[in-house]
Structure 1
Amino acid sequence: MKEHVARRGWWRGLDPRSSATLFLIAACGTYGAVIASVLPSLVGTWIADVGLTERMAGEVATINVLAATLGLCLALFLVSRWSLPRIARLGLLLAISGDLLSILASDMLQLSFLRAVQGVGVGLLVGATTNWIGRHEYAARGFGMYIMLQFILAAVLIAAIPALMPYLGAASVYVTLLALAAVSLILYPLLGLNGGAVPLRPAAAEEPEESGAAADTDYPALLKFLSVLAFGLFNIAAIGLWSYMLRYGEVVGLSSAAAAQTLAISSLCGIPGTILVIALSARYGRFLPLMLALAIYTVPAAVFAVSHVAAAIFVAGLVVQNIAWAVVAPYFQAVQAALDRSGRLAVWGMIVASIGAGLGPAFIGFAIDGTSYGMAFGGAVLALGLAALAGAVPALVTDRRERPTPAEGILAGS
């Protein structure tokens, strides 16, 4: 009877194990997940229309991101006390209030408070969504869908905001976010499926209804720690490098406009990577695709570290890295989901990944010497190597205990 609350609406006929339900859950969480992608548009609006300086706008953006991390922590605390739809409902209330009232903000103090409210809200929504996907037996496919939607919707939002400017002015960026919020409002009751309608109790964590035999395995805490640490190290390198790619593109000879266009187009190249994750799921385990994608991601960084590359090689390297990143991230999360079927570890992974994303630009920036990026890329390669070392053992252990077969991977899509 755990799911009777979740089965009273239009969604009552949905199968919690199906790919369609996974897709809808992923769509539910994208309102929170795309906030980092629209930060450049938000910052531009705050500078042009609220009158903030670049530094002040950057501080507000930091508050927004840190508040989202706080929301993730709060979701982790609430998951054993509230149902997932209730957590998401609170998150949506806070996030929508923050976005709506931000339209009226006229100074930095007001904006900082409202973006903090919005950040906590989207953190709660992302935490509830991540926990639900983390409980699912086909978590790799679910996280692949989640990241694919982030790539697609980020591109749509970035294109839509300038088109709406002549009609809505400074409110354009908030209206596009609120359109995603409307989708989340329709879909959030689905979080009550698959055991999400009740708080996660210790007994429920140990004996989930929908998981396989491997879900009953109690993995050592060290493996869980290593899987989360690896995801954080990867984000230090990946987000740190990404933060300076616009400037590095100019260093290798691209104009500012060409470098910005290159980054925008290359980010869309992550979509094929997410499609690959959705297609493969756990068919060939997690270790092989994770380590292979990590190695592919590292190659361009290593090339950039040892030589001053031509613009064409820079563009090709960015494309390769975005495709590989779209494979690495969901498989890290899938390993965490396999280690803890309650979904808590997947939320911890998101928290540590957010911290890594915050530390990354400072880590890479510290290693940059004027226009020389060799040490910065070398530091990123080191962080990626440590991420591979930390992530290899948890991925191997979960693969060996579960031993997914190609036939099981094919059945997962049915």
Structure 2
Amino acid sequence: MNTTPATTASPATSTPLWVYALLAFVATAGFFYINIMSAIVDGLVTGWGFDNAQAGTVAAANIYGASAGALTAALVVRKLRWRPTLALLLGVLLLLDIASVAVREPTPLTLLRAVHGFVGGMAVGISYSVMARTQSPDRAFGMLLLVQFGLAGLGLMVLPPLVPTHGAQLLFMVLAGFSAVALLALPMLPRFDDAAAAQDEQRQALTPTARRTAAFALLAMFLFQGGNMALSAFIIGLGERFGLARDFISHTLGWATWIGALGAVAVIAMGTPRNRLHPLLVAFALTLVGTAAFFWSGSKAVFFAANVGTAITWSFVVPCLFGMLSKIDHSGRLATLAGFVSKMGLASGPLLAGWVLRGGGDHALIATALTILALSAVATLAGAHRLDKESAP
């Protein structure tokens, strides 16, 4: 396995927390729409009159486009200078979000958001390649989830109640504003080595054992993101169909997302752990229990607790998986590839959920998400066990 320490020639080897935070903010701009996807899907349904399948298709196209962009980034990242490339991509994202305000038909909006996703996916992939070369990738990706969940909590608490009055266009303007702020933050990042220079020092090929471990982690990422997003994208409507008020649901999602950031804080505090299996075992136990609890969403207390529990594990497991892949390959290529796989899972979740809801209802959706997450647990724990064993002294 390629476990050579990260290069000491770069500032990334002594990265302070504020740099992690800025990197996380810039990366988040490329896919913040994913973090408020439930608000966007609900806004398309309640604000613009889309049905569930149409709204789910728009969401899926946005994230499938991001998957294609992330894959493209994985292929070309060695040839690009990360700072000017990110500046260009963020500027295009800003324009695409503004354009989305004027498009009210499902098919044109689906195409536009697919292009938006592609551009954002490239921006995120390039950001991931930089984060993977920091001294502690686990900590870098933990900060990423902390920033995402903190901002998403605010968005989910504030935005859904405004959609019936202001329409879904409000959501796209918020996304445009986020891209604008990220553009302003980009020059404050310190100078990092370009991906090509970093990879010149990382030419060692992965061993067959390392490739198998990486395959487990990538499969786990796809299933985990897909299972979570299948439920999350339609959680507002699910809560309403269980008899909960919109204001309560909105505030629940906001508080759950903020509290859920504790999972990312735990990853930042752990840094790069020697034993990954045991904390991940606890995290997946909480994930499965929390997801199953959505069967009793008619209870406000259960609905709140289920959202909090699954949010904590979501922000914990994802950076752990990125950290596993960064440990296997310090060049950042696997982390960039994981961005592609992650977005494929996030895109597949809403698409599958829209059709499950059309054919089977809320209980079928919860059961589907639970099954997918259980399969992710198997893949994650298998990969973590192999990595712990291979990394042991």
Question: TM-score range, shorter-chain basis?
Answer: 0.7 to 0.9
From 199, 204, 214, the counterpart of 2:201: 204
Aligned residues: 385
- 1:127 maps onto 2:134 in alignment: no
Measure, in 2, the Cα distance between the counterparts of 1:372 and 1:43: 16
Q: Which has the larger radius of gyration?
A: 1
TM-aligned CA deviation for residue 96 of structure 1: 2.0
Measure, in 2, the Cα distance between the counterparts of 1:19 and 1:378: 39
Measure, in 1, the Cα distance between the counterparts of 2:46 and 2:378: 45
Measure, in 2, the Cα distance between the counterparts of 1:134 and 1:273: 19
TM-aligned CA deviation for residue 128 of structure 1: 1.0
Identity %: 26
* 8 A Cα contact 1:237 1:384, kept in partner: yes
Q: 1:323 aligns to what?
A: 312
- 1:359-401 residue CA offsets vs partner (Å, 9 max, x unmatched): 234555638975672x554443433332222222332333344
- 1:185-232 residue CA offsets vs partner (Å, 9 max, x unmatched): 23435777442x25267533337xxxxxxx998853111111100111
TM-aligned CA deviation for residue 149 of structure 1: 0.8
- 1:135-192 residue CA offsets vs partner (Å, 9 max, x unmatched): 2231111111111111122233456668999xx9976444432332233223435777
From 10, 27, 30, the counterpart of 2:28: 30
From 330, 336, 339, the counterpart of 1:347: 336
TM-score (norm 1): 0.77
* 8 A Cα contact 2:60 2:350, kept in partner: no
Q: 1:299 aligns to what?
A: 289
Unaligned runs of 5+ in 1: 7-12, 208-214, 405-414
From 255, 272, 275, the counterpart of 1:265: 255
* 8 A Cα contact 1:33 1:150, kept in partner: no
Unaligned runs of 5+ in 2: 1-6
Q: 2:388 aligns to what?
A: 399
Distance change (3 Å), C-alpha of 1:225 and 1:383? same
Letter in 2 for 1:299: V
From 332, 338, 346, the counterpart of 2:327: 338
* 8 A Cα contact 2:101 2:173, kept in partner: no
From 241, 245, 270, the counterpart of 2:231: 241
1:10-409 to 2 correspondence within 5 Å?
16-39=14-37, 42=40, 53-54=50-51, 58-105=56-103, 111-158=109-156, 172-188=170-186, 193-195=191-193, 197-199=194-196, 203-206=200-203, 220-250=210-240, 252-283=242-273, 285-302=275-292, 310-361=299-350, 363=352, 366=356, 373=363, 376-402=365-391
TM-aligned CA deviation for residue 238 of structure 1: 1.5
Is the partner of 2:348 in helix, strand or coil? helix
Q: Which has the higher contact order (CA 8 A, sep 6+)?
A: 2
Deviates more, 1:296-305 or 1:67-76: 296-305
RMSD after superposition: 3.9
* 8 A Cα contact 1:236 1:383, kept in partner: yes
Is the partner of 1:80 in helix, strand or coil? helix
Measure, in 2, the Cα distance between the counterparts of 1:107 and 1:139: 41
TM-score (norm 2): 0.81
* 8 A Cα contact 2:14 2:135, kept in partner: no
Letter in 1 for 2:22: L
* 8 A Cα contact 1:91 1:120, kept in partner: no
* 8 A Cα contact 1:95 1:117, kept in partner: no
Distance change (3 Å), C-alpha of 1:176 and 1:276? same
Measure, in 2, the Cα distance between the counterparts of 1:310 and 1:102: 37
Deviates more, 1:335-344 or 1:85-94: 85-94
Is the partner of 2:34 in helix, strand or coil? coil
TM-aligned CA deviation for residue 314 of structure 1: 3.1
Q: 2:4 aligns to what?
A: none
* 8 A Cα contact 2:220 2:379, kept in partner: yes
